Amino acid sequence: MEAQCSLYRVCPNPSVPLIRSPNHLLLLKLPSPNYSRSIVRTNHPYSHSVCLRENIACRKNGQMIVNASLEGEVSRSVIRKKKLAVFVSGGGSNFRSIHEASLEGLIYGETVVVVTNRSGCGGAEYARTKNVPVILFPKTKDEPHGLSASELVATLGNFEIDFIILAGYLKLIPLELIQAYSKSIVNIHPSLLPAFGGKGYYGMKVHKAVIDSGARFSGPTIHLVDEHFDTGRILAQRVVPVLANDAAEDLAARVLKEEHRLYVEVVAALCDERIVWRADGVPLIRSKENPNELY
């Protein structure tokens, strides 16, 4: 019988590692053949656990469904909680969505540092209210205290960053950082790339170009970052309609709402290690609900 439950350690023996988590892959060595086995799926698609039902308290929706004392060895491999660096230049609404989703447990990762080229922007101000460190990059005449590329690489290394999330960041990411974080830097762009992307295409300029073109659809694209603007491998897109009487602001608001949803979904997949690379180099996302489904 399968049960959706989180596993709680009930054994008083402190040498047995804590196994209370819905996101752990647990491999329990059966202490003797007379223990029954059943596969218990926690709510993480990869974590199937051999659950010594006589030994583990399983709780489903707060209701204790099995209760016993734990004996035997437990060895486990876990998907480590990821550390994120979020890069911003503007209002920071995408960063806020990602940060709130982390706090709600929808993203198995934590924003440990924010990087910006504009120390007074909304994203940096929000980070300060949440006690997230803010560092400046690059060094410019407006931001003379900004880091160099090599200083940034070293600093992010000290933070033990797993993924870099560009969220409205408007400067070109240097090759040195791209090489240091291969396949680990993503960006969100407010059009259906490759259309309306590249140097000069950012913010409202993108939405104005979409409307002027007569395009009937637009939407956010999330892509891996390479050394050029907006040419990295596409990871996810969503489509929104362009209405006949849309002003650029109307379209921007419609796209931004979809950006917030899509970025949380994609960052959650990154942190869950659910990115799969197709043989031709296209990155796909493995569904959380159905691990056999890629999209």
What residues are labeled active site? 189
Nearer to ligand GAR, 72 or 203 (CB): 203
181 binds, among ligand LMY7XDAE, ligand GAR, none (CB under 5 to 8 A by kind): none
Among 78, 141, 133, 88, which residue's Cα sits nearest to residue 110?
133
Rounded CA separation 127/125 (Å): 5
Contact between 201 and ligand LMY7XDAE per CB under 6 A: yes
At 134, list the tokens. Answer: 């803010």
Beta-bridge partner residues of 63: 60
Residue with tokens 């899509």: 262
Nearer to ligand GAR, 109 or 123 (CB): 123
Residue with tokens 């911003």: 88
The torsion angles phi and psi of 142, rounded to 5 degrees, stand at -75, -30
Contact between 79 and ligand LMY7XDAE per CB under 6 A: no
Look up residue 21 and give its DSSP letter: B
What's the distance, CA 22 to chain centroid?
18
259 binds, among ligand GAR, ligand LMY7XDAE, none (CB under 5 to 8 A by kind): ligand GAR
Q: How many residues does the chain have?
A: 295
Of the residues 33, 62, 200, 281, which one makes contact with ligand LMY7XDAE according to CB under 6 A: 200
CB of 97 to ligand GAR, least distance (A): 8
146 binds, among ligand GAR, ligand LMY7XDAE, none (CB under 5 to 8 A by kind): none
Q: Regarding beta strands 57-60 and 63-66, do their DSSP bridges make them parallel or antiparallel, or are they unpaired?
A: antiparallel
In the range 159-188, which residues lie near ligand LMY7XDAE by CB under 6 A? 166, 169-173, 187
Nearer to ligand GAR, 173 or 271 (CB): 173
Contact between 227 and ligand LMY7XDAE per CB under 6 A: yes
Contact between 196 and ligand LMY7XDAE per CB under 6 A: no
- Side chain identity at residue 169, one-letter code: Y
On the CB side of 237, how many CA atoms lie within 13 Å of its CA? 14
The residue ranges that bind ligand GAR (CB under 6 A) are 88, 90-94, 123, 167-168, 188-190, 201-203, 206, 256, 259
